[in-house]
Structures are given as structure tokens and as C-alpha cells.
């Protein structure tokens, strides 16, 4: 049986980041149009996270763990000839299939416009987080950037492992935490994610991976479907020439009934 201490440690890590009422997806105008054109069901692509712009994706927490005092103590106390199960867990976590799409807690952030919305020519739209909590296949998770919080989590789960010898429980929470913890250099993004982790044990329940072409080559993805009522806000990028009236008509045609669209407050032009 999995030790409850591991689950509690992971829950505390997740709860260290307060969940906002809405999270925002930034995208170019063409992607925005494609997302909302198929009313009454819209879809976002949850892509293979190993193809993100972070070279330490799924590796950051493992690297931090290997440098920690808690791990050095664990390794020193290993009986002679016993395998280092933590090291094996870290290695496997890097190759675990995880699919995600990214959001920000801020719907009008210049760095997000420039990086993810065609240099300000796109849109951001807010999804109500209350509408995401009941879907068991797709989960909403925060990204944790604070290194002190990450180190505290590492110490806690290694201590529990030493007390319980429950490597399965350790592996389960480490796999998920490796997706949650990132380099603090990305902290301005205030990222949240919707994630899908395939359960390859239950093959009959699996949705087959789809493929799309990006600058990184062929990328696997899964579709996440959502409804018009999930949308709570839409912001027009600072360099986007779409008028509020145009967007109101587009939203009406798509069945989106969120408050009046608004223009970004960022005084930016490429």
C-alpha cells in the first residue's frame, strides 16, 4: 500500500501555489481561430512536454535532488550492494509520457504576448478553473518555481522513503512533481498546466496519440475539449488589429458568452 505521507507531501507542494479564478492561454490569431471555430465544442492541443522550450523539462527536480543533502545522506546509508532506487526513478521520470498545454495566471503580460502570441498579434483567453476540477482524465496543476519549496519537498519525500522503504509511493509522487517544479528563470510566466498522463496499463481506455508538425519536427498530442461556458475572458494582443466589435461578433457566432472582450493595456508594437 502506498504511504499516505507521499501524497500529503505532493498535496502540500501543489497547494503552495494559490489557484486563480481563471488561467490564460496565449496564442497567435490563427490558432485562436482554429480553437474556437468548431462550436459547440472547442479543443486545445496537449503536446508532449519533452518538446517544450525548457531544456530542463522533467529534469530540473531530479538535478536538484541529486545535489541535496538529503540524497547524499540517503546514498551514504545504502547497504552495500543495494541498488540506488532514487537514481533509477529520476532516470525513468525523464522518459515518462506526459502531455500538457500551458496557461498563465496573468491574462495581459507583455513577455507572454511576445513569446507565445505572435509578438503581440494574437489573443489570450481565460478558462474558469472551477470548470476544470471535475475532469479526472485531465488535471490542472501549478508550476512551482521557488527553490526553497522544492528543496523542502525533496527532503520530505526522501525522509518518508527511508522510513517506509516504499519506492512505488516515492516514484509516483516524484514523477508528478518533476512536471510541477521548474527553473525559477521562468517564474514571470506564472504558469499553470492542463495535463494528461496516459495509463498504459489500461490500454482499452487509451486515446491514440495524434501528430502535428512544429519547428521541432513531429510532435505527439492529445485533444482537450472544453465548452463555451468555460471561457471567462478574452484579451486582444497589443499589436493585434482586431476590433472589440469584430471579436464580439466572432464570440457570438461561436456561442461564447463571456464579458466584453478587451484590448491589452500593454503599449507595445513589434
Residue 1, pLDDT score: 46
DSSP state letters, 216-249: TEEEEEEEEEE-GGGEEEEEE-TT----HHHHHH
- By three-state DSSP, how is residue 131 classified? helix
pLDDT digits (tens, 9 = 90+) for 67-85: 999 999 999 988 876 778 8
User: How many helices and strands (H and E) does the chain possess?
Assistant: 9, 10
Residue 200 confidence class, pLDDT cut points 50, 70, 90: low
* The three grid cell numbers given for residue 135, joined into one nine-digit string: 475532469
Whole-angstrom Cα distance, residue 24 to residue 56? 23
Residue 232 confidence class, pLDDT cut points 50, 70, 90: very high
Domain boundaries, the chain: 4-263
Given a cut of 70, whether residue 208 has pLDDT beyond it is yes
Mean pLDDT of 40-46: 90
- By three-state DSSP, how is residue 184 classified? helix
Whole-angstrom Cα distance, residue 182 to residue 147? 9
Residue 202 confidence class, pLDDT cut points 50, 70, 90: low
Residue 209, pLDDT score: 84
pLDDT digits (tens, 9 = 90+) for 110-123: 999 999 999 999 99
Average predicted confidence (pLDDT) for the chain: 91
How many other CB atoms are found less than 10 A from the CB of residue 176? Answer: 20
Whole-angstrom Cα distance, residue 41 to residue 57? 31
Residue 174, pLDDT score: 95
Mean pLDDT of 239-244: 97
Given a cut of 80, whether residue 95 has pLDDT beyond it is yes
Residue 136 confidence class, pLDDT cut points 50, 70, 90: low
Given a cut of 90, whether residue 64 has pLDDT beyond it is yes
- By three-state DSSP, how is residue 89 classified? helix
Whole-angstrom Cα distance, residue 118 to residue 115? 7
Q: Is the peptide bond before 112 cis (omega within 30 degrees of 0)?
A: no
Mean pLDDT of 218-246: 94
Whole-angstrom Cα distance, residue 238 to residue 228? 24
Residue 259 confidence class, pLDDT cut points 50, 70, 90: confident
Given a cut of 90, whether residue 132 has pLDDT beyond it is no
- By three-state DSSP, how is residue 10 classified? helix
What kind and span of H or E run contains 160?
A: helix 147-164
Alpha carbon distances (Å) from 51 to 130, 137, 205, 214 = 28, 21, 25, 10
pLDDT digits (tens, 9 = 90+) for 160-182: 999 998 999 999 999 999 999 99
- Which of 80-118 are b and which e, b meaning 16 or more Cβ less than 10 Å from the residue's Cβ? eeeeebbeebbeebeebebbbbbbbbbbbbbebbbebbb
In the chain, % of residues over pLDDT 70: 94
Alpha carbon distances (Å) from 248 to 41, 51, 103, 114, 245 = 18, 34, 23, 24, 5
Whole-angstrom Cα distance, residue 209 to residue 83? 34
Whole-angstrom Cα distance, residue 129 to residue 243? 27
HSE at residue 174, side-chain half, CA atoms within 13 A, is 32
Whether pTM exceeds 0.85: yes
Mean pLDDT of 24-38: 95
Amino acid at each position: 500500500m502506498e504511504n499516505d505521507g507521499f501524497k500529503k507531501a505532493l498535496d502540500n507542494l501543489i497547494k503552495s501555489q494559490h489557484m486563480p479564478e481563471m488561467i490564460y492561454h496565449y496564442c497567435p490569431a490563427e490558432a485562436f481561430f482554429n480553437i474556437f471555430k468548431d462550436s459547440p465544442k472547442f479543443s486545445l492541443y496537449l503536446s508532449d512536454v519533452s518538446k517544450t522550450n525548457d531544456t530542463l523539462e522533467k529534469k530540473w527536480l531530479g538535478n536538484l535532488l541529486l545535489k541535496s543533502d538529503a540524497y547524499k545522506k540517503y546514498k551514504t546509508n545504502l547497504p552495500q550492494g543495494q541498488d540506488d532506487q532514487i537514481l533509477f526513478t529520476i532516470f525513468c521520470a525523464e522518459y515518462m509520457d506526459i502531455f500538457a498545454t500551458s496557461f498563465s495566471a496573468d491574462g495581459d503580460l507583455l513577455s507572454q504576448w511576445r513569446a507565445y502570441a505572435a509578438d503581440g498579434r494574437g489573443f489570450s483567453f481565460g478558462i474558469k478553473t472551477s470548470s476544470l476540477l471535475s475532469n479526472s482524465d485531465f488535471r490542472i496543476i501549478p508550476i512551482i518555481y521557488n527553490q526553497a519549496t522544492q528543496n523542502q519537498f525533496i527532503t520530505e519525500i526522501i525522509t518518508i522513503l527511508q522510513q517506509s522503504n516504499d519506492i512505488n509511493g516515492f516514484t509516483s509522487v516524484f514523477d508528478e512533481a518533476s512536471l510541477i517544479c521548474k527553473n525559477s528563470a521562468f517564474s514571470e510566466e506564472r504558469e499553470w498546466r492542463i495535463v494528461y498522463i496516459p495509463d498504459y496499463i489500461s490500454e482499452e481506455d487509451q486515446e491514440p496519440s495524434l501528430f502535428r508538425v512544429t519547428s521541432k519536427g513531429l510532435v505527439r498530442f492529445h485533444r482537450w475539449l472544453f465548452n463555451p461556458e468555460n471561457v471567462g475572458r478574452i484579451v486582444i494582443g497589443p499589436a493585434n488589429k482586431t476590433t472589440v466589435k469584430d471579436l464580439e461578433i466572432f464570440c457570438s457566432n461561436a456561442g461564447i458568452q463571456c464579458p466584453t472582450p478587451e484590448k491589452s493595456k500593454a503599449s507595445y508594437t513589434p
